[in-house]
Amino acid sequence: GDIVLLAKPVTLTEGDRVTLTTDVPVATDGTSKPEKLLYAVSLPPVHGQIEHINYPGVPISSYSQLDVVAQKGSDVHDNSHGAGKEALR
């Protein structure tokens, strides 16, 4: 089926961390198994990284919808001064 991804922008400043919740990225593919969806980070943040909360400091390149629902992923800023706006994909 068709995949729908809704994402809301978040603002991070030096050293901030935002937990990925269903308020930020949420996706559906029209099936009854959204927990099987996998997000792949193809363009990571320049001034930080995406981490699993059980492994702080270790960047990850993918996470599941179950990770989002369980609030197991986070975007962590790296303390860069003057970092402009950026996006991740």
In a domain, 56, yes or no: yes
Nearest to 37 by CA among 72, 69, 71, 60: 69
In a domain, 69, yes or no: yes
In a domain, 28, yes or no: no
Q: How far apart are CA 50 and CA 58, in angstroms?
A: 8
In a domain, 64, yes or no: yes
Domain range enclosing 62: 17-23+34-78
Q: What does the pLDDT look like over 35-74, one tens digit per residue? A: 778 888 888 888 888 899 999 989 999 988 888 888 898 8
In a domain, 61, yes or no: yes
Give the count of domains, the chain: 1
Q: What is the pTM of this model?
A: 0.72
In a domain, 6, yes or no: no
Q: Is the pLDDT of residue 89 over 60?
A: no
pLDDT value of position 84 = 60
